[in-house]
Amino acid sequence: MKNKRNPAYITCFFLTFLTACSSVNTVEKNSATILPPEELYGGLFYDVQNKEIFPDSKTFVDAQPLKEVREIRQEYENLQNKTPASVSAFVKRNFDIPVTGAIVYKTDSSSINTHIRKLWEVLKRPADDEISGTLIPLPNSYIVPGGRFREIYYWDSYFTMLGLQQDKEVGTIRNMVDNFAFLINTYGFVPNGNRTYYLGRSQPPFFAMMVKVLAEEEGEEVYVEYLEEMKREYEFWMAGASDLSASNPAHRRVVLIAEGDLLNRYWDDKPEPRPESYREDVKTAKEAVAKFPDLTKEEVYRNLRAGAESGWDFSSRWMDRDAAGNFNLYTIHTTKILPVDLNSLLYNLEKTIAQAYGINGNSSEAENFRKKAARRKALILKYFWNKEDGFFMDYNFRRHKNTEVLSLAGIYPLFFEIATAEQASKVAGKVEQEFLKPGGVVTTPYHTGQQWDAPNGWAPLQWITIKGLRNYNKNGLASKIKTGWLEINKAVYGRTYKMLEKYNVEDLTRKSGGGEYPTQDGFGWTNGVYQKLSSE
């Protein structure tokens, strides 16, 4: 099969990256060095964040230096007056500061579907020619979510592709899949997004699902084309599995629960504050160690970052209740939890690799990965199914029991057809009882002030839930969720001509909220899911 990617360009780009990454102890011109912001800008980074020069911690780490970074650092070291006003003026002289808030788009009275088709071009970014600040260059154009999210995001992009597929933007889908393949080949995994400050973590592994979307348009040989990248991603998630033992049961993203029972968790390689949420993480860590003296700040940072890798940053899924029965972020313990959604996605990755090997004629490797998938399916049913609650729930491997948190992550075994028919019926009942609201489904039934909890509903989880229920012929409930979600999208668009990142699905007269930043508009995955569902 002819490979439709441009190997010469990608090889050249890859070699450029290797050259850039080789000088990690130097700070050169921004087009020749790729470093996270705390290493790139040194003391300037910490002063900007600690002095609260910008309301959003992400603003400065996305800024583009206007001259050589070495020169900027030297000038800042020589700056005598480092009051907040002086630092602010220095940054404005030396950086192109990204505009925060709404995307630049002239609204009109177009239908919502037409508006979304126009937005694809607004949200599209061209291939990057050079490293600029913290942005990791990509060889092809791509779609960003919108608002403060000025770069590509991993799991967002699958749901965006659903809409691109509906709008026949197959070339854009291929460009994005190729970009993710490029990141896998360059770094060994797909980072959270194409920023240097995301290089410690990934996001829910949807690459195989993206390949499926492209294969639906271009044929099954697409699976073979991206087989090596799918294998590399699988190796990233399974790294260290062969070294686990009863005395060493966990390493990075793999956990040995019992003899032969191995599953995965979210993780991040850096036990430090997230540069894009620096002040927030420092505050949370300070609260946590004050409450729990045996805890270290490094542990808190790791758990916050792992929560960010989950895409659910943040949710009661990763927390404990306090004495008053409330969930608090300072109790976050993501790395102790085996997530049902992650393991369902890895089951799908194993199945997809087996499928690609089968198409390629390698029957022995196809059988090998089919066995891996079958084994994981058995473990998902063993550890994540909570008989008492009649729902799939995350598993705390330190406490050897399911967490007490109901969340729409429990729908993933239906989405990937892992659940039995009986289990699916019980899950559907729980969704109708606990999650169904006038505007779709809430992420969890709990009001915590976190954005991945009630009252918020998110486009990706509407799609996962609707499709999962349909897989087991729960079409009536799926239809209720679909209708509620499309109606709230249309109602907000009718008032504002905007597509939002998330919605308040409980009270349709109120805005969504919670979390570390205001609700963003744009918005990639909302657009994608709306186009897909409304086309039916």
Catalytic residue positions? 313, 501
Contact partners, residue 22, CB within 8 Å, separation at least 6: none
Cα 507 to Cα 510: distance, rounded to the nearest angstrom: 6
Cα 302 to Cα 489: distance, rounded to the nearest angstrom: 35
Give me 130's structure tokens.
């050079």
Give me 350's structure tokens.
């194993």
Q: Which segments of 243-339 does DSSP mark as H helices, in order?
A: 278-291, 297-309
- Burial (0-12, 13-18, 19+ Cβ within 10 Å), 155: buried
Residue in 501, 478, 479, 480 with CA at minimum distance from that of residue 489: 501
Long-range contacts formed by 471-474: CB under 8 A, 24+ apart:
471/414, 471/415, 471/417, 471/424, 472/414, 472/419, 472/421, 472/424, 472/425, 472/428, 474/424, 474/425, 474/428
Cα 7 to Cα 22: distance, rounded to the nearest angstrom: 22
Residue in 535, 533, 479, 512 with CA at minimum distance from that of residue 159: 533
> CA-CA-CA-CA torsion for 149, 152, 156, 160, nearest 10 degrees?
110
Cα 429 to Cα 423: distance, rounded to the nearest angstrom: 10
b/e code 19-55 from CB counts within 10 Å (16+ = b): ebeeeeeebeebbebbbbbbebbbebbebbbeeebbe
Give me 223's structure tokens.
């699976």
Long-range contacts formed by 80-83: CB under 8 A, 24+ apart:
82/47
Residue indicated by tokens 């000038």: 75
Amino acid identity for residue 362 in this structure: N
